[in-house]
Amino acid sequence: MTARPLLCCAAVASAALGCRQSATERPPGPIVSALFALAAEFGADAEATTRAFASLQDIALRVEKRHARSHADVADDINAVIFGELGFAREIDSPATRFFQLSSVISERRGSCLGLGALYLAIGERMGVPLHGVLLPGHFFVRTRNPGRHNVELLRRGEAMPDDWYRKKYGPWPEVDSAYFRPVTVTELVAVHWYNRGNDLRAAGDLAAAEAAYARAAQEFPGFAEAHASLGAVQQLRGAFAEAAASYREAARAWPDLPGLAGNLELLKRQLADASGP
């Protein structure tokens, strides 16, 4: 009953910058506000968060200046600043919160694909560039739309990868009315962070806190099958079999063939039979 860690990257839809407020003039938008509020909920130090926001402003301004010179796709300029000039690195092994919490990703210059993706989303919003996060099973990546849509894979230093690469590496997933392979909302982005928070807490053995985190993710993103399944797995571990069954039903409603779900349900069925006695 293992939750699949979501070590991920977000999605960028780029636009010409044109005449608009600079990154230092624009008030915090909904993405930046949500991501820094999450950092506070995850226990980030207030002074460190303030420093991280100042660093975010500097990074966005650096990208703006580079973009004004290059006239390239803005995602290419973000790639050049993040991975080239500033030396940010990927983290693919640890589910630790600091690798997806925006403030610590900025301060440590290291992040999971979700952490690096959150950084891209925040930079784009500071610049006035529309951004979209795209969720896949176990992944989150970047997509541009200017001049034509292409994917930006942050675990490969921003390399453009075709749709088929994602389908082969992370598929299959439900294609119709699902949470996957389409832009997520800000609320859904927050939920993905809570899901990853649950993975970190579960890895640390804090099942009660992990359950609460998974519950937040499932509540805020009802179509996120992995959040419901992970919530059910933790409930099953603590013997709350009826609650686990309800969570698994929600997971199955979102994705009937979710990998691992059938095995968990079979084990739960045996546990319920044992609990009812002869």
For residue 131, the model assigns a pLDDT of: 75
Q: What would the pLDDT profile of 134-155 be if each residue is shown by its tens digit? A: 999 999 987 877 666 788 899 9
For residue 100, the model assigns a pLDDT of: 97
How far is it, in rounded angstroms, from Cα 191 to Cα 143?
20
Least confident segment among 101-105, 123-127, 218-222, 262-266: 123-127
Indicate the pairing of strand 150-153 with strand 89-90. unpaired
Q: Is the pLDDT of residue 246 over 60?
A: yes
In the block, tokens 């949470």 appear at 179
For residue 19, the model assigns a pLDDT of: 43
Q: Is the pLDDT of residue 6 over 50?
A: no
Q: Is the pLDDT of residue 20 over 60?
A: no
Q: Is the pLDDT of residue 233 over 90?
A: yes
Q: Is the pLDDT of residue 188 over 80?
A: yes
Cβ atoms 143, 134 nearer than 8 A: yes
Most confident of 1-15, 149-163, 193-207: 193-207
Residue ranges and CATH numbers for the domains of the chain are 30-183 (no CATH), 206-276 (1.25.40.10)
For residue 16, the model assigns a pLDDT of: 36
Query: Per-residue DSSP letters for the chain?
Result: -PPPP------B------S---TTTSPP-HHHHHHHHHHHHTT--HHHHHHHHHHHHHHHHHHHHHHHHH-S-HHHHHHIIIIIIS--EE--S---GGGTSHHHHHHHTEE-HHHHHHHHHHHHHHHT--B-EEEETTEEEEEE-SSS-EEEEGGGTTEEE-HHHHHHHH-----SS-SSSSEEPHHHHHHHHHHHHHHHHHHTT-HHHHHHHHHHHHHH-TT-HHHHHHHHHHHHHTT-HHHHHHHHHHHHHH-TT-TTHHHHHHHHHHHHHHHH--
Q: Is the pLDDT of residue 158 over 60?
A: yes
For residue 149, the model assigns a pLDDT of: 77
Specify which residues 139 forms β-bridges with.
136
In the block, tokens 């991501």 appear at 35
The residue among 30, 219, 225 whose CA lies nearest residue 135 is: 225
Q: Is the pLDDT of residue 9 over 60?
A: no
Q: What would the pLDDT profile of 102-116 be if each residue is shown by its tens digit? A: 999 999 999 999 999
Q: Which residue has the higher pLDDT, 22 or 210?
A: 210
Whole-number average pLDDT of the chain: 89
For residue 151, the model assigns a pLDDT of: 86
Least confident segment among 21-30, 53-62, 127-136: 21-30
What is the dihedral sign for C-alpha 205, 206, 208, 214? negative
How far is it, in rounded angstroms, from Cα 270 to Cα 244?
13
Q: Which two tokens stand for residue 269?
A: 């069925």
For residue 98, the model assigns a pLDDT of: 96
